[in-house]
Amino acid sequence: MDDDPSAQHDTVRLLHQRDYEVACAWSLDDAYAALAGQPFDLVIAGSRVGSMNGLQLIVSCRSRRPEIAGVVVAAQREHVSEMDAWRYGITPVVRPLNAEQFLMVVAEKLASIKPKQRWPRKRVTSYVPLQVGHARAQLLDVSYGGLRFQLDGESYELPSPVPIDIPASRLRVDAELVWSARAADGASCLCGVMLTGNGNPAHAWRAFVDRVA
């Protein structure tokens, strides 16, 4: 949501690069109608939307959907109160957008939302190495439907679907990338994936999950 149509178009174009489902609103009434009609995980607002600034809009949206994450995109940093953004857990971003950094912010905000999962995740306490495409990784947690891992390097351009090999168990699965975010150390990458339904060894995977966690 943004009073500047060209700025909103640029934001939507970047989001579509990662295949996010995006809905645009051109007024406050449109925004509230969209929130009432379908669930959203993230609101991205301009520094000014109608009679509200972007922070006020996101806080107002949260009165209807408390779990929503928020990002404010401003032409200049002084257009957003950093103190208020910090207080409400809203991330300010300044134009012109750096595509990689902006998409990383979006991934981090989405990753911070606790999703409703079909299967509970189980934490892996031992070291389990993975081969994710051409990158090395460490398994962090698993479920019957997916897994979370940490890549050894700062790499965010994984193919999707991506083959994942677990050498110690002689197991290979194919998975779709759901989200990626920078790890707390600032130098590695966390990823969450879900298993695809194409050719994955369901019984072998379930046995692996039961054994490893």
Residue pLDDT, tens place only, 75-106: 888 778 888 888 788 899 988 888 888 888 88
The DSSP code sequence of 58-105 is: HHHHHTT-TT-EEEEEESSGGGS-HHHHHHHT-EEEESSP-HHHHHHH
Q: Chain-wide mean pLDDT for the chain? A: 82
Per-residue pLDDT at 50: 74
Q: What number is the average pLDDT over the span 67-73?
A: 89
154 touches 165 (CB < 8 A): no
Q: Which domains does the chain have, with CATH numbers?
A: 5-111 (3.40.50.2300), 122-212 (2.40.10.220)
Residue 61 has pLDDT above 60, yes or no: yes
What's the pLDDT band for 186 if we cut at 50, 70, 90? Answer: low
CA distance 204 to 201: 5
**Higher-confidence residue: 194 or 137?**
137
Write down the pLDDT at residue 208. Answer: 92
This prediction's pTM? 0.54
pLDDT in tens, 99-133: 888 888 888 888 777 555 557 778 898 999 999 98
pLDDT reported for residue 57:
86
User: What's the chain's length in residues?
Assistant: 213
Helices (H), 89-178: 99-111
Mean pLDDT value of segment 197-205? 73
- Between 156 and 95, where is the model more confident? 95
